[in-house]
């Protein structure tokens, strides 16, 4: 009794769990051992369960599928099975591998050659005790590196964002109960129930379906939902042909279904895109390449100066170490440390301007990249088109034809009777009215607040009825029976009767023409049914072929008292039409030397119809299929893709292939897209552009740029901005280098010729402030020239320092040096240098600088063409510098610091007239270029 009491006590106390092991003999050990053996067997079986590839799963019978995945199709998995499978297959999500730590990414920014050169300059400045220069250079480097790091760190989230597209919840059968679970909890073998509006939570092999239609446009680019079945397939083609498999991330548009999970996380079809994206490196932008080249060029220039000064000094018998110090100091003065800051500021301001135009740019150099983009590869569905099926053409049974305007699932637009262009409403034309009525009644779609629920084709018919003010006509009928659409019969019919009336039943039918016409014995002629003749059938067949060849999806409609005795009503042409403004954008891009290529999963006829509609390649279309792409070798592909404007029946791998081939041929490629199937191509392109509204999270994060309003035509604004930004950077480089070379040459000449220094240290520092300060920086915010979009794309091989720019830099430098030396010579008395000499020389150089900045606002346009007041920041900067210079000359405390003295008004007028020569000569050169070299302006770089 006591022993039994203690046993009960121990069993009740949870903290004495060990007591439960000590039970009377024979009480339960054999049962526990049997239970453990069962558990081991289950674990062994669970370990054998593997993921089924879609191409294998589609060939399996239900029984084989259940056996392969070790699941009861009626009750689902047990919780213990789920735990074991999760240990093996992991969660149904994507894990981004931990890459470099944040501090290492920050330090990587310092690998830029220009940054390294600036750091070297700062080090030399410290060694030579030029602490002010060292501090300013270090601060410049810190600002540039930090801004670049923040921008790039924020944009490297593309792989993590894939998780957002994985649907968060689903309906799953486990242990005989239907449960509402998070999608991440699914494992291979789970039984999933699908209904309208559900996102598919994993790759599923369907085992039961009822009129199931799935939108796979994010994978395949096909606008029309795929009809799904649960029957076994004898052969497996590509993913578009697997009718008994649905893929993670796709959307159920209609019907319902039940399926077994065959792939989760990275083992799903979605995961294949993830792996490809993970492996894809983002290429360097043209601006980064140009900046790298400029950094190397300036390095060589600097070392050349050092070598030259040391050689001359050594030949003159001067101390070698002192000559080395002078040489390095001069080289440091030649490096425009303001260049990275101005480039960054210019790009940031460009991004802010783009944001106002509803375009989000995620990386600083990306906007400029578009300036030299010469090929835009665009996805069709959702990018060039709205991904909203729309009726565009009607042909009635008695020969009337009508055109339909307006796009999308709304009542905006009209039906125009041809050729009179009369707007039709309700039954103003009986034949058109009856055709639209039939389309509205034999329909299960619903449109509420411009949102369509149901099949897109049916949504298009409802939108047509709304335009004709017949959307409510289906309410006068009571539906008695529905014969659903199937891929075998290719038609759908409903049996109805009029409300509150004792009339015979009436059937409405829609479907493929060749199937519907078989059930018709009559045709409608102005509301009267007449016998259907072979001639009439031939006419309808001809119209159906004509509409089909123009890329329309053709539906036939009929009505009548019974199947087999229907009255043919006519044909309806449906297409996913181009977005508004796309045609105009393509035309402008074509004229500016940018080639637009369309990549789609659609059939040839539909792709060509859209291509012609938007004016691709000025109407001279050449198409290539995904199969043809696979057959071409790498070298052949690179030459072939340049001439092709439409790629049809393509997969994500084909898109990547096309972009890589174009890049090998020397093109700068932009890719626009909105689906999961575009993500890899968006990342591998020189610039990826995603749609903000219709775009999936994956495409938005893989892209470098997002069009907020899904407006393809805003790409033009981006290209215009990109070209303008590069021109502004060139303007700044011209100003800064011409000033650098002038200051450097003055000091070098005085050193080599053993002349007194025309400028003292504080005056050189002031000139450096002007050279790198507000006047220089304000050149980077010059508004974009309106003619920029008309210019051809910039060659990728072009450097910032082109031959033309170098000549202009040296021309300005020679004028500045000559004018300054003339003033120095004129004001240099025989007794030696006086404060007046340095003040006149110093002021002359500063005035030359300000006039040089004025002409550097544009490389091609005269100051009168761009306007004095367009860039107000520049005016304020120049005015501030001018007032600052007057303060240096006339304010006593500053006179002591800069060793200056008062100048007369006539002196200032003389210096202004002399300094304006750099402006006058530069403007004259622009005028000569305009008149003599006009043909060169129209030539572009067509890689």
Q: Give catalytic residues, as residue numbers.
A: 379
| Cα 598 to chain centroid, rounded | 15
What are phi and psi for residue 471, nearest 5 degrees? Answer: -65, -25
Q: In angstroms, how far is the first alpha carbon of the chain from the final one?
A: 98
Ordered DSSP codes for 187-210? -TT-EEEE-TTPBP-SEEEEEEEE
With contact defined as beta carbons under 8 Å apart, do 111 and 75 qualify?
no
Residues paired with 689 in a beta bridge: 672, 705
What are phi and psi for residue 74, nearest 5 degrees? Answer: -90, -30
CA atoms within 13 A on the CB side of 220: 22
What are phi and psi for residue 342, nearest 5 degrees? Answer: -65, -40
Residues paired with 257 in a beta bridge: 194, 209
* Strand-pair category, 566-575 with 390-396: antiparallel
CA distance linking residue 505 with residue 688, whole number of Å: 56
With contact defined as beta carbons under 8 Å apart, do 592 and 373 qualify?
no
CA distance linking residue 431 with residue 416, whole number of Å: 13
CA distance linking residue 362 with residue 28, whole number of Å: 66
Beta-carbon contacts of 417 under 8 Å, excluding residues fewer than 6 positions away, are: 400, 401, 402, 423, 424, 429, 432
With contact defined as beta carbons under 8 Å apart, do 382 and 689 qualify?
no
Nearest to 77 by CA among 205, 188, 208: 188
HEC letters along 368-392: HHHCCCCEEEEEHHHHHECCCCEEE
Q: Which residue has the tokens 């402008």?
A: 588
CA distance linking residue 370 with residue 374, whole number of Å: 8
With contact defined as beta carbons under 8 Å apart, do 439 and 464 qualify?
yes
Residue 80 to residues 74, 85, 204, 269, 786, Cα–Cα distance (Å)? 17, 9, 21, 27, 68
CA distance linking residue 915 with residue 930, whole number of Å: 24
């Amino acid at each position: 009794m006591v022993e039994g009491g203690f046993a009960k006590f121990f069993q009740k106390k949870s903290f004495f769990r060990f007591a439960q092991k000590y039970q009377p003999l024979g009480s339960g050990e054999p049962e526990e051992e049997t239970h453990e053996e069962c558990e081991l067997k289950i674990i062994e079986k669970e370990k054998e369960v593997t993921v089924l590839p879609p191409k294998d799963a589609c060939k399996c019978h239900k029984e084989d599928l259940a056996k392969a995945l070790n699941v009861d199709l009626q009750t689902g998995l047990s919780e213990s099975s789920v735990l074991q499978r999760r240990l093996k297959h992991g969660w149904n999500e994507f894990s981004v591998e931990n890459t470099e730590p944040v501090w290492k990414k920050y330090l990587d920014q310092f690998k830029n050659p220009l940054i390294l050169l600036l750091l070297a300059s700062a080090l030399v400045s410290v060694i030579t005790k030029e602490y002010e220069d060292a501090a300013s250079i270090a601060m410049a480097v810190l600002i540039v590196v930090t801004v670049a790091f923040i921008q790039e760190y924020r944009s490297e989230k593309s792989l993590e964002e894939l998780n957002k597209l994985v649907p968060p919840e689903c309906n799953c059968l486990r242990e005989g109960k239907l449960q509402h679970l998070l999608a991440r909890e699914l494992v291979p073998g789970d039984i999933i129930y699908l209904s309208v509006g559900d996102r598919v939570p994993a790759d599923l092999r369907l085992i039961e379906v009822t009129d199931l239609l799935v939108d796979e446009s994010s994978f395949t680019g096909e606008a029309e939902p795929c009809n799904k079945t649960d029957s076994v397939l004898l052969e497996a083609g590509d993913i578009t042909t697997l009718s008994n498999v649905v893929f993670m991330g796709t959307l159920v548009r209609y019907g319902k279904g039940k399926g077994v999970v065959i792939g989760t996380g990275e083992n799903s079809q979605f995961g294949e895109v993830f792996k490809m994206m993970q492996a894809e490196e983002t290429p360097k932008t043209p601006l980064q390449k140009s900046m790298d080249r400029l950094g190397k060029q300036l390095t060589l220039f600097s070392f050349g100066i050092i070598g030259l000064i040391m050689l001359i000094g050594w030949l003159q018998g001067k101390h070698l170490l002192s000559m080395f110090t002078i040489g390095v100091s001069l080289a440091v003065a030649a490096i425009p440390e303001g260049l990275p800051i101005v480039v960054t500021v210019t790009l940031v301001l460009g991004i802010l301007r783009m944001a106002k135009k509803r375009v989000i740019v995620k990386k600083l150099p990306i906007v400029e990249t578009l300036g030299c983009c010469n090929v835009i590869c665009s996805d069709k569905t959702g990018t060039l088109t709205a991904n909203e099926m729309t009726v565009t053409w009607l042909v009635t049974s008695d020969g009337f034809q009508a055109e339909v305007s307006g796009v999308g699932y709304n009542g905006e637009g009209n039906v125009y009777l041809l050729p009179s262009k009369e707007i039709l409403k309700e039954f103003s034309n009986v034949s058109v009215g009856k055709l639209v009525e039939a389309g509205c009644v034999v329909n299960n779609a619903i449109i509420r607040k411009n949102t369509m629920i149901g099949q897109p084709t049916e949504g298009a018919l409802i939108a047509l009825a709304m335009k004709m003010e017949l959307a409510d006509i289906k309410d006068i009928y009571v539906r008695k029976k529905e014969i659903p659409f199937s891929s075998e019969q290719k038609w759908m019919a409903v049996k109805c009767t009029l409300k509150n009336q004792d009339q015979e039943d009436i059937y409405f039918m829609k479907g493929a023409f060749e199937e519907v016409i078989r059930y018709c014995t009559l045709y409608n002629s102005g509301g009267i049914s007449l016998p259907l003749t072979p001639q009439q059938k031939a006419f309808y067949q001809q119209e159906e072929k004509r509409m089909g060849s123009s890329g329309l999806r053709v539906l036939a409609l009929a009505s009548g008292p019974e199947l087999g005795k229907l009255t043919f009503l006519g044909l309806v042409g449906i297409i996913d039409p181009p977005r508004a403004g796309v045609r105009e954008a393509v035309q402008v891009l074509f004229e500016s030397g940018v080639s637009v290529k369309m990549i789609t999963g659609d059939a040839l006829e539909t792709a060509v119809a859209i291509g012609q509609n938007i004016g691709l390649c000025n109407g001279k279309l050449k198409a290539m299929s995904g199969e043809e792409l696979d057959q071409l070798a790498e070298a052949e592909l690179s030459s072939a893709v340049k001439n092709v404007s439409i790629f049809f029946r393509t997969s994500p791998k084909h898109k990547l292939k096309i972009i890589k081939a174009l890049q090998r041929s020397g093109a700068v490629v932009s890719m626009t897209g909105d689906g999961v199937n575009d993500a890899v191509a968006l990342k591998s392109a020189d610039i990826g552009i995603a749609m903000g509204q219709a775009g999936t999270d994956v495409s938005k994060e893989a892209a470098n740029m997002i069009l907020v309003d899904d407006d393809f035509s805003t790409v033009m604004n981006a290209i215009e901005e990109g070209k303008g930004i590069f021109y502004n950077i060139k303007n700044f480089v011209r100003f800064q280098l011409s000033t650098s070379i002038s200051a450097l040459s003055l000091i070098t000449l005085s050193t080599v010729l053993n002349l007194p220094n025309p400028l003292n240290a504080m005056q050189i520092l002031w000139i450096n402030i002007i050279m790198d300060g507000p006047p220089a920086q304000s050149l980077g915010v010059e508004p974009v020239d309106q003619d920029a979009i008309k210019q051809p794309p910039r060659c990728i091989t072009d450097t910032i320092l082109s031959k033309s720019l170098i000549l202009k830099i040296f021309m300005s430098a020679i004028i500045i040096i000559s004018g300054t030396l003339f003033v120095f010579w004129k004001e240099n008395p025989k007794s030696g240098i006086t404060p007046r000499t340095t003040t006149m020389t110093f002021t002359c150089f500063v005035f030359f600088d300000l006039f040089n900045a004025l002409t550097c606002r544009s490389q091609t346009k005269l100051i009168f063409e761009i306007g004095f007041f367009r860039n107000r920041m520049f005016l304020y900067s120049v005015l501030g510098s001018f007032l600052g210079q007057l303060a240096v000359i006339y304010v006593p405390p500053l006179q002591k610091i800069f060793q200056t003295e008062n100048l007369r008004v006539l002196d200032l007028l003389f210096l202004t007239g002399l300094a304006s020569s750099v402006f006058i000569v530069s403007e004259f050169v622009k005028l000569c270029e305009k008149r003599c070299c006009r043909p060169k302006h129209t030539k572009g770089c067509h890689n």
